[in-house]
Amino acid sequence: MTLISLSRVVKKYSAGAQDVTALDDVSFDIEPAKMTVVLGPSGSGKSTALNMLGGMDTPTSGTIVAAGEEISSYDDARLTLYRREQVGFVFQHYNLIPNLTAAENVGIGSQYSRDAMSPDDALASVGLAGRERSFPSELSGGQMQRVAIARAIAKRPHLLLCDEPTGALDSETGRAVIALLRSIAGTTQTAVVVVTHNVSVAAVGDATVTLHDGRVQSHVEHQVPISVEEIDW
Ligand SMILES: Nc1ncnc2c1ncn2[C@@H]1O[C@H](COP(=O)(O)OP(=O)(O)O)[C@@H](O)[C@H]1O
Ligand SMILES: [Mg+2]
């Protein structure tokens, strides 16, 4: 089963006089209830691919189909609804609002959703019961990233997009965050996409798409993904 597929996606940016081809004929599928890792060195097109999946940017050519709808031909208004209703985002630097509590930060992510989890339930599901009233400055990096994950999943998105979610974390905390993301895929049927340049994370996914210079270098499905405890970081 496929939740979202990119077919022959090209993305060019004009940077001054020159064009940069960030994605060059990229095709791959994302499945629900699985964790797909997008691996590649800096500049290989990972964030561009994630932005296309999340409806934050549109391709120069090629198509993106999400749940049977061709989102690559959506106008801005429909893309806004798609992002709001179907997509959760997690970033490297958490992007929490400093003067709001953990619960208030989570509430912001789901304020437009009809069927959202309560902030307290979302925080409990990421292991932060009891920290609802904490401000970001009172939390560790790993805890702040858990709040960001709770904010992203509270609206029960079909697709959870994570751009370098462990990039600012030490290895132990990073492992725990990856384990959490994997368990979210398994327990909520969400398609989880994790962008990373950390090769160790790749083996933990159900599938790994490796990008190089804007092209898909390999796409591997792991029948039996290894557990997070087994990887060297
Ligand atoms: N908004 C933009 N304008 C111009 N060039 C961009 C823009 N976004 C990304 N690029 C270029 O596209 C390529 C891929 O970038 P990116 O997707 O951010 O890679 P990654 O996330 O793998 O580091 C890089 O060469 C980058 O400089
Ligand atoms: Mg990036």
- Provide the token pair at 133: 């009233």
Which residue from 13, 21, 44, 193 has its CB within 8 A of the most atoms of ligand 1, so it is best to mutate? 13
Any residues with Cβ below 6 Å from ligand 1, and which?
13, 15, 20, 22, 40, 42-48
Question: Tens of pLDDT along 33-65?
Answer: 999 999 999 999 999 999 999 999 999 999 999
Question: Tens of pLDDT along 98-157?
Answer: 999 999 999 998 887 888 999 999 999 999 999 999 999 999 999 999 999 999 999 999
CATH level 3 topology of 4-230: Rossmann fold (3.40.50)
Q: Pick the ligand that lies closest to the CA of residue 163.
A: 2
Domain ranges of the chain: 4-230
Alpha-carbon separation of residue 91 from 20, 32, 95, 213, 232 (angstroms) = 24, 20, 7, 22, 23
Q: Is 157 helix (H, G, I), strand (E, B) or coil?
A: coil
Which DSSP symbol is given to 219?
A: E
Kind of pairing between the strands at 4-15 and 35-39: unpaired
User: What percent of the residues of the chain are helix, what percent strand, and what percent coil, each to the nearest 5?
Assistant: 35, 30, 35
Q: Pick the ligand that lies closest to the CA of residue 46.
A: 1
Which residue from 47, 162, 194 has its CB within 8 A of the most atoms of ligand 1, so it is best to mutate? 47
d(CA 40, ligand 1 centre) in Å: 12
pLDDT at 224: 74
Q: Say what angle helices 171-188 and 141-153 make with each other, to 10 degrees.
A: 20
CA distance 208 to 222: 8
Residue of the nearest CA to atom 11 in ligand 1?
22
